[in-house]
Amino acid sequence: MIVVACPGQGSQTPGFLAPWLELDGVADSLALFSEAAEVDLIEHGTTSDADTIRDTRIAQPLIVAASLIAAQALRARAGRDGDGVAGHSVGELAAIVGAGVVSAEEAMRLVGVRGRAMADAAAQAPTGMSAVLGGDEDAVLARLAELELTPANYNGGGQIVAAGALTALSALAEAPAKGTRVIPLQVAGAFHTSYMSSAVDALRAAVAEAAPNDPAMTLWTNRDGSVVTTGAQALELITGQVSSPVRWDLCMASFAEAGITGMIELAPAGALTGLAKRGLRGTPVVAVKTPDDLDAAADLLHAAASERNETK
């Protein structure tokens, strides 16, 4: 069983879409996605600098578009999809496309709304996020509670992301929990916390216009790592997760329980494969960062299909 994983915000880098534009049809797809999201994805994915694409309004559509483009290219190269799909934070919008819940254009419309709404919510107070690496989880959570910070992402592999007021994050960096290292993240606000409540309302209104299908393959939610069974449930979950913690640790536990034999992370890849190497030790992983990585991903899909055929 091969899981396809779709990354979240922070995985984008300047110019990362440029090599994908060399593939047939990608420019046309990005033009459609740009119109749906109300963001010039070609410009921002090829020439905009790091500060520009850090803007939540731009970053979120860029990331989802990249995952969708990579998924299309992988399907064309391998002749098949993965067996299950999951997304980290905004990556869930790419994941529900992979599961057949909504179209790519619909997901891009929703991510455009999401990015704008979360940027507006973040502008209401000086907040941010920091990764806390290592240490005892209970001690980390206790320290966050002391500072009135929220554990916004449980990423597994000894990584928790704290979110909240910038003053509290500074205090955490100055006096972290024992045995931990604190790394400030390049994001504009305290995502996946109560600071994002206004964004939830905006996204819920946009979601109400969608007509979802039930998932056509296994789809895990990063709300709690469970399997999503209906399209309506999928849309409700991606709405609520804007202000609730991302439990990628529970997703990886569910992957292991399902007996996965490999994981492919779609562009802009790297973060989730890194977590998998610690949280899913021994599981083959492929990060599809550029079109050059498609062959390795296709080989992993073909190997899984051959193993299934041999056991029949």
Residue numbers annotated as active site? 89, 192
| Contact status, residue 83 vs residue 2, Cβ threshold 8 Å | yes
CA distance 168 to 187: 16
Order the strands of the 159-165 sheet from edge to edge: 180-184, 127-134, 159-165, 150-156, 246-247
- Please name which of 284, 295, 191, 237 lies closest in space to residue 99, comparing C-alpha atoms: 237
Q: Please give the backbone phi and psi of residue 40, each rounded to the nearest 5 degrees, phi first.
A: -80, 90
Q: Are 275 and 159 in contact (CB under 8 A)?
A: yes
CA geometry: angle 73, 76, 78, nearest 5 deg: 105
Cα separation, 178 vs 180, in Å, equals 6
Following CA atoms 212, 214, 220, 226 in sequence, which dihedral angle do they give, to the nearest 10 degrees?
Answer: 110
Q: Report the interhelical angle of 56-78 vs 294-311 (nearest 10°).
A: 50
**CB atoms closer than 10 angstroms to residue 268:** 24
Phi, psi of 308 (to 5 degrees): -65, -45
Q: Which structure tokens are listed for 235?
A: 């849309």
